[in-house]
Amino acid sequence: AQSVTQLGSHVSVSEGALVLLRCNYSSSVPPYLFWYVQYPNQGLQLLLKYTTGATLVKGINGFEAEFKKSETSFHLTKPSAHMSDAAEYFCAVSDGTGTASKLTFGTGTRLQVTL
């Protein structure tokens, strides 16, 4: 079975500061990894994903994440936070076999951006 752990249910950063949201996973097979963002009163939308290939993945709105197999991590970063980044962020893992596999989501990290 696969699982996802997001460290920190709430993270607060100042505008312009580095954003770092942590995600660790467990999977018995090579994982597919995703970050989704949920803005207030909206559904989730994909920020970025890792399937195979390059381990540094760039997403929308200046976010990126690095797949580190040795650390079983997929942390999300952004060099400079903007007020519009305030949202809840979910890391998710899938075994990627395509046979009745499904995404397992973490419990989410709420990002607050202050002036």
Partner 1 sequence: EAQVTQNPRYLITVTGKKLTVTCSQNMNHEYMSWYRQDPGLGLRQIYYSMNVEVTDKGDVPEGYKVSRKEKRNFPLILESPSPNQTSLYFCASSLWVSGELFFGEGSRLTVL
- Judged by beta carbon, residue 62 or residue 96, the one nearer partner 1 is 96
- Judged by beta carbon, residue 53 or residue 102, the one nearer partner 1 is 102
- Judged by beta carbon, residue 54 or residue 100, the one nearer partner 1 is 100
Distance, CA of 100 to CA of 84 (rounded, Å): 36
Distance, CA of 47 to CA of 28 (rounded, Å): 24
Binding site for partner 1 (CB under 8 A): 9, 32, 34, 36, 41-46, 49, 90, 94-103, 105-108
Q: How far is the CB of 83 from partner 1 (least distance, A)?
A: 22
Question: Exposed, middle or buried: residue 63 (CB in 10 Å: 0-12, 13-18, 19+)?
Answer: buried
